[in-house]
Amino acid sequence: MESKFLFLVNLLVLQYLAVLCVSQDFDFFYFVQQWPGSYCDSSSSRCCYPTTGKPAADFGIHGLWPNYNDGSYPQNCDSNNPFDGSKISDLISSMRRNWPTLACPSGSGETFWSHEWEKHGTCSESVLDQHSYFETTLGLKQQTNLLQALKTAGIKPDGEKYSLGDIKDAIKEGTGYTPWIECNQDSSGNSQLYQVYLCLDNSGSSLIECPVFPKGKKCGSAIEFPIF
C-alpha cells in the first residue's frame, strides 16, 4: 500500500512538473525598445519622468518577451516568483538609465520592472532566472545600440520625417538583423517612430531573424523621429 501511495505521489509531481514546463515553453524572445520622445508626444498616453529625473535622449528598454512562432505568447507563468528588487540590486543604477519608466504618476521604475518580470520574465524561468533576465536585457541594449545605428545612417531625433525603409536598413546594418518597427501618432496625428522589435533565440543567448513579426500598429512610408 505504501509503495502504491508513493507511486501516485511521484506521478502527481511529474504531471505538475510537465504542466509547469509546458507553461514555460516558448520559441523565441522579442526584445523591445521604445523612443521616449514618441511615448511622451502621443495622443494615447500620458508621460511622467521618473523620480530620478528626465531620461537620456536614447532608446529605452520596454521588455524581453517570450513568444511562440504562431504569434501568441505565454504570460504570468509563475505567481510564486514575484519581482524582488533585492535580487537585482547590483543592476539598479543601470536599470534606471536604460530601462526608465515614463508612466504616470512618476516612479522609481520598480513598478514597471515588476510588471515586465511577472508578466513576461516568469515565462522564461526555464532559461533565465530573475537576475539573468534583467542582466541579459541590459546587455542587449548595449549590444544593439539603436540610436548610434540610426545616427550613422544620418537619421537623427530632430523632428524630421525619414523613410521607413531607411530606418529598417540602418538598424539592420547596425545590428545585423531585420527589425520590426511600431509607430504611434503624435498629438497632431503624425505617424512617428515608437518601438523597435528585434528577436532572440529561446536560450536567451543570440539575436536571430524574427520567426514572425507582431501585429501592432504599422507605419506609413515616411515617419517622424521626434526630439526628446
Mean pLDDT, residues 190-206 taken together: 96
Cell reading at 25: 515553453
Task: Please report the pLDDT score of residue 97 as a whole number.
Answer: 97
* Marked catalytic residue, from 62, 125, 182, 224: 62
Inform me whether the pLDDT recorded for 11 exceeds 70: no
Residues ≥6 apart with Cβ < 8 Å to 108 = 50, 51, 52, 96, 101
Share of the chain above pLDDT 90, in %: 83
Mean pLDDT, residues 4-20 taken together: 46
Residues ≥6 apart with Cβ < 8 Å to 72 = none
Our answer to whether residue 115 is catalytic in this structure is: no
When comparing pLDDT for 120 and 8, which is higher?
120
* Marked catalytic residue, from 118, 120, 125, 224: 120
Confidence band of 166 (pLDDT split at 50, 70, 90)? very high
pTM of the full structure? 0.88
Our answer to whether residue 120 is catalytic in this structure is: yes
Residue with cell string 543604477: 93
Our answer to whether residue 62 is catalytic in this structure is: yes
C-alpha–C-alpha distance, residues 178 and 200, integer Å? 12
Confidence band of 20 (pLDDT split at 50, 70, 90)? very low
Contact status, residue 214 vs residue 30, Cβ threshold 8 Å: yes
Inform me whether the pLDDT recorded for 43 exceeds 80: no
Task: Please report the pLDDT score of residue 19 as a whole number.
Answer: 41
Mean pLDDT, residues 86-114 taken together: 97
